C-alpha cells in the first residue's frame, strides 16, 4: 500500500470548505424533502414541479421547458409527472401549436396541494437558510454561486434558474 496522492492535494481550508459545502448542498434539500414528505406526502422535486406550473402562464408548461427549469432529465420528470397525474394533481396533453410537444398543466387539485404545502416549505427554507444569512451574506453567496454555475452548466441550459423574476441575473446588478 502506498501513500501516493490520488489527485491534487487539498489545503486544510479547501478540504474544510468543500466538506461544509457538500454537507449543506445535500443537507438542506434533504431536510426540505423530509419535511414535505412528512407534512404533505410529496417530495421536494414534486413540490418544485407544482411550483413551476403554479407560476407559469395558464398553469401550463411544455415538459421540455419544465425539465430545464428542474435541472432534470426528461425521463425523470416524466416519471414524476406520471405520479402527479395519477393523483389528479397534473394533467398532460399535447400542445395545440405543435402536436409533438407534451404539456404539463397544474390541475385545481394540484394547485390546492401546492397552496397547502407552500407555507410549510417556505417556513422551513427560512429556518434552514434565509434566517441564518443577512442581506450581505446572501449577496456574497449569490456572487460565489454565480462563479460556480458555469462549471455545471457548460451548455447554458440552466441559465433560466439563475434569473430572478425581473429576468436579470441578481448578482449582475
Percent of the chain scoring above 70 in pLDDT: 87
Q: Is the pLDDT of residue 166 over 60?
A: no
Number of Cβ atoms within 10 Å of the Cβ of 80: 20
**Which tens digit of pLDDT belongs to each residue from 30-71?**
999 999 999 999 999 999 999 999 999 899 999 999 998 888
Within a domain: 154: yes
Are 118 and 154 members of one domain? Answer: no
Domain count for the chain, please give it. 2
Q: Is residue 3 part of a domain?
A: no
Same domain, 147 and 87: no
Same domain, 86 and 118: yes
Q: Could you give the dihedral angle defined by the CA atoms of residues 45, 160, 152 and 73, in that order, rounded to the nearest 10 degrees? A: 50
122 and 40 fall within a common domain:
yes
Q: Which domain holds residue 84?
A: 16-132
Residue 11 within any structural domain of the chain: no
35 and 80 inside one domain: yes
- Same structural domain for residues 43 and 93? yes
CATH number at residue 118: 1.10.10.10
Co-location of 162 and 123 in the same domain: no
C-alpha to C-alpha distance for 75 and 165, rounded to whole angstroms: 27
Q: Is there a contact between 94 and 102 (Cβ–Cβ < 8 Å)? A: yes
Can you read off the three cell numbers belonging to residue 120? Answer: 410549510
Which ranges of 41-134 would DSSP assign to H, the alpha helix?
44-55, 63-69, 74-86, 108-128
- pLDDT tens digits for 108-138? 999 999 999 999 999 999 999 999 999 999 9
Residues 72 and 144 in one domain: no
Amino acid at each position: 500500500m502506498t501513500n501516493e496522492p490520488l489527485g491534487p492535494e487539498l489545503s486544510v481550508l479547501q478540504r474544510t470548505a468543500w466538506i461544509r459545502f457538500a454537507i449543506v448542498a445535500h443537507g438542506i434539500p434533504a431536510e426540505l424533502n423530509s419535511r414535505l414528505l412528512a407534512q404533505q406526502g410529496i417530495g421536494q422535486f414534486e413540490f418544485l414541479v407544482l411550483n413551476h406550473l403554479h407560476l407559469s402562464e395558464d398553469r401550463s408548461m411544455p415538459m421540455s421547458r419544465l425539465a430545464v427549469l428542474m435541472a432534470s432529465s426528461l425521463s425523470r420528470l416524466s416519471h414524476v409527472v406520471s405520479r402527479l397525474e395519477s393523483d389528479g394533481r397534473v394533467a398532460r396533453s399535447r400542445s395545440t401549436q405543435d402536436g409533438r410537444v407534451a404539456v404539463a398543466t397544474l390541475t385545481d387539485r394540484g394547485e390546492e396541494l401546492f397552496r397547502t404545502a407552500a407555507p410549510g416549505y417556505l417556513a422551513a427554507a427560512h429556518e434552514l437558510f434565509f434566517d441564518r444569512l443577512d442581506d450581505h451574506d446572501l449577496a456574497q453567496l449569490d456572487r460565489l454561486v454565480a462563479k460556480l454555475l458555469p462549471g455545471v452548466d457548460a451548455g447554458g441550459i440552466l441559465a433560466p434558474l439563475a434569473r430572478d423574476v425581473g429576468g436579470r441575473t441578481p448578482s449582475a446588478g
